[in-house]
Amino acid sequence: MSEGKARWWQEMTAKDIVAHAKKDDIAILPIGAIEQHGPHCPCGDDSYNAIGFARLISEKTGVMLLPCPMYGSHPYMHWGMPGNIPLTYETHIGLLMDIIRGAKVSGFNKFIILSAHGQVSSTIVAVHKLGLERIFTLSLHWYDMLRDNKDLLDTYMWHADEAETSVALYLFPEFVDMSKADKGHREPLVDDKFIIAPGQRPGPGMMYHFEGTFSKFEHQELSTGIIGDATLATVEKGEKIVSRVVDHVAELIEDIRKRYPAGVNPLAA
């Protein structure tokens, strides 16, 4: 489809939504979270990122965008941190499934969950539960498209750092105060050589950063709310990261369209 205005579900009538699904039945569900992002970025950072990525993808591809739920699930170490409002895993799994089930009623058959927050603990479960209902669903986390991000960034992505702040500077600079950008670090409970950082190319035997209780609770450990170096962030880096994510998802959408025309459910019996 040609480039144009982003297609947000909440801005359209029911009749227009159903008509769109008959021509193109792919829908993206952008998801983020409410989570502190240091003294320089807003607590809605992840949700704003998800919305920003989704808008640009829709403008490029014409794909339908489902409304972004501002809240998300969180890894255990985020709980108890001021500024964070986490959903339980069960609540978030149910939320994702209900949104996608509801969108299917209007004629959509292929779904992409686009996450701008680390919540694989719920997205993976939701995807497989939806699969049992024969609802084709893919789940993407934007930082996994950075591999290996050393060609874009000076450091691996962690939290409220060079990567996330750069994206924020590009997508919503009005909410970022770089005069308050700072550095922060974490003390993992095992050596980092065993842990895959977000966006890092994994080595043999390394565990994904959510596959263990590798960290102390952030409210006990983080003085700035940052893991990494936010002072390294630039608009230019953010633009490169965003372009990479948008192009990757656009390519995925075109692959799905070629394989499965509108009206075709890839998981139909």
Q: List, for residues 144-153, the tens digit of each pLDDT value.
A: 887 766 778 8
In a domain? residue 267: no
Residue 204 resides in a domain: yes
First to last CA, the chain: 29
DSSP 3-state helix, strand, coil percentages of the chain (rounded to 5)?
45, 15, 40
Task: Supply the pLDDT for residue 149.
Answer: 67
Q: Which helix (H) or strand (E) holds 14?
A: helix 14-23
In a domain, 64, yes or no: yes
Q: Is the pLDDT of residue 3 over 90?
A: no
Please give the model's pTM, rounded to 2 decimal places: 0.95
pLDDT at residue 148, rounded to an integer: 65
The predicted model gives 161-170 an average pLDDT of 97
- The chain-wide mean pLDDT, for the chain, equals 95
- Residue 266: inside a domain: no
Question: Mean pLDDT throughout 50-65?
Answer: 98
| The predicted structure's pLDDT at residue 155 | 86
DSSP string, 72-141: -B--GGGTT-TT--PBPHHHHHHHHHHHHHHHHHTT--EEEEEESS--HHHHHHHHHHHHHTT-EEEEEE
Domain-embedded: residue 1 = no
Give a yes or no: residue 54 inside a domain: yes
- 239 falls within a domain: yes
Structural domain boundaries enclosing 248: 7-259
Secondary structure element (H or E) that encloses residue 29, with its range: strand 26-31
**Matching residue, tokens 């390394």:** 206
Quick check: is 2 in a domain?
Answer: no
Cα 122 → chain centroid:
13
CATH number at residue 192: 3.40.50.10310
Report whether 99 contacts 29 (CB < 8 A).
Answer: yes
Q: What are the backbone angles phi and psi of residue 139, rounded to the nearest 5°?
A: -125, 125
The number of domains in the chain is 1
pLDDT in tens, 168-187: 999 999 999 999 999 998 89
Among 166, 184, 180, 169, smallest CA distance to 228 is for: 184
